Amino acid sequence: MEKLVSLAKRRGFIFQSSEIYGGINGFWDYGPVGVELRNNIKSFWWQRMVRLRDDVVGVDTSIICHPQTWVASGHVASFSDPMVDCKTCKGRFRADHIEAIPCPQKPSLTVQACAGDKKGPGELTEVRQFNLMFETFVGALRDDSARAYLRPETCQSIFTQFKNVQIVSRQKIPFGIAQIGKSFRNEITPRNFIFRSREFEQMEMEFFVKPEEPEMQKWYEYWVAERFQWFQDLGIKPDKLRQRVHSQDELAHYAKGCVDVEYQFPFGWSELEGIANRSNYDLSQHIKTSGKDLSYFDETTKEKYVPAVVETSLGVDRTLLTVLADAYAEDVVEGEERVVMRFSPAVAPYKVAVFPLSRKLAEPAMALEKSLRKRYVTDYDDVGSIGKRYRRHDEIGTPLAVTYDFQSEEDKQVTVRDRDTTKQERIAIDRLEDYLKDHLKL
């Protein structure tokens, strides 16, 4: 993790938010390379989940919803974590994580060990419940009538807009509504870099089905398999992925089943995505609280019912961390150690880098890069030796590098270097686009 965090800053993937003021815990900024990687991940999900399907449509809803949304969903009453404070260091910790969290004053001990050790200075308060929603106020007044919340998840506004979306999209059940958007949770102990943050982005899809057990189970199993395969198609190593079925005592009271897709991070196996059979609890709660009819009428069978839901939910930031961890590799090239990010070309921030061997060749090299830019995300680089430029783009994860040299002026060919194998080939400039197309497979 230390190597990943260092690389992320050094190469412009991720920076600590407000770093010049000492940073703010649980918030992160994405740099020039990171924002490209992040957008590629979102596009890869959206293409698979929405654009290639007839039965899923998209929405983009507001971050602040009517406060009753969170009353109906249960967040106001119960979206809480158990919390303890240390009377000595004034730190605040999740009570169910104190066995793993290092003590701020004695990092060699966990918070629990520090508080329980006679040599440790820690003394913990009783466990209290801490609501994770960020409060805000809408309008000029700052009283209970103006109180609102930054959304802690994107799915509830999908439920509240179910009827509108179903009508305008002319979809028939079964169908899904997908969304990518920011969410906010006032985590007590953000940790593991961008794995658990206070501001994060989600990619969620709610798939509405007939509330009959065979139908719900069929689609639940379908989406578990589909979403597990998606991570492999993203380029994640299969041996670092697994499915974990939730036990009955883990399930929410309304859930019929839940499976987590987990990844083996440097800090251990942890959840990437949850696929849940949520029954028809969510729509039923919003019907009850709002008094509005959110049921579905089947024109063919003349049945009217409240649909059940299969949910798929994952975080953009957590997926990005997975892609970073999975792509990171160290090897030796011509006697020199190098770090290389072996991203799938589909998500690599830059697909092609173009280098002039000398700045005297800048004009034709830049012209070549601009011609490739029409089809691919490219980067022009003339800073430092050619070896340093190769290493820089190995760490960025650029699959192919094209070098325009003095011989290119005569034979109209360039040298193309493969990131993973470091193999180099001379390719005619008028064949270059076809070569890139064949090797990048985009």
**pLDDT value of residue 47:** 98
Please state the rounded mean pLDDT for residues 388-405.
97
* Helix or strand run (H / E) with residue 182: strand 175-184
* Burial (CB count within 10 angstroms: exposed 0-12, middle 13-18, buried 19+), residue 21: exposed
**pLDDT value of residue 99:** 85
pLDDT above 70 coverage of the chain, percent: 99
Where are the chain's structural domains? 32-68+152-323, 350-440
Out of 1.10.357.10, 3.30.930.10, 3.50.50.60, 3.40.640.10, the CATH code matching 32-68+152-323 is 3.30.930.10
Contacts of 238 (CB under 8 A, 6+ apart): 232
Do 67 and 148 meet the contact criterion of CB atoms below 8 Å apart?
A: yes
* Helix or strand run (H / E) with residue 352: strand 352-356
35-75 pLDDT tens trace: 999 999 999 999 999 999 999 999 999 999 999 999 999 89
Please state the rounded mean pLDDT for residues 93-108.
83
| Whole-Å CA distances, 217 to 220, 223, 254, 360 | 5, 10, 15, 65
Which among 356, 360, 404, 400 has a CA at the least distance from the CA of 381?
356
336-395 pLDDT tens trace: 999 999 999 999 999 999 999 999 999 999 999 999 999 999 999 999 999 999 999 999
3-class DSSP assignment, residue 338: strand
214-240 pLDDT tens trace: 999 999 999 999 999 999 999 999 999
Query: What span, in angstroms and rounded, lies between the C-alpha atoms of 160 and 311?
Result: 15
Do 5 and 16 meet the contact criterion of CB atoms below 8 Å apart?
A: no
Which among 342, 347, 398, 327 has a CA at the least distance from the CA of 369?
398
Phi-psi group of 309: left, alpha or beta (phi > 0 → left; psi -120 to 50 → alpha; rest → beta) = beta
**pLDDT value of residue 373:** 95
3-class DSSP assignment, residue 274: strand
32-46 and 316-327 helices, crossing angle to 10°? 110
pTM of the model: 0.90
Fold of the CATH domain 350-440: Rossmann fold (3.40.50)
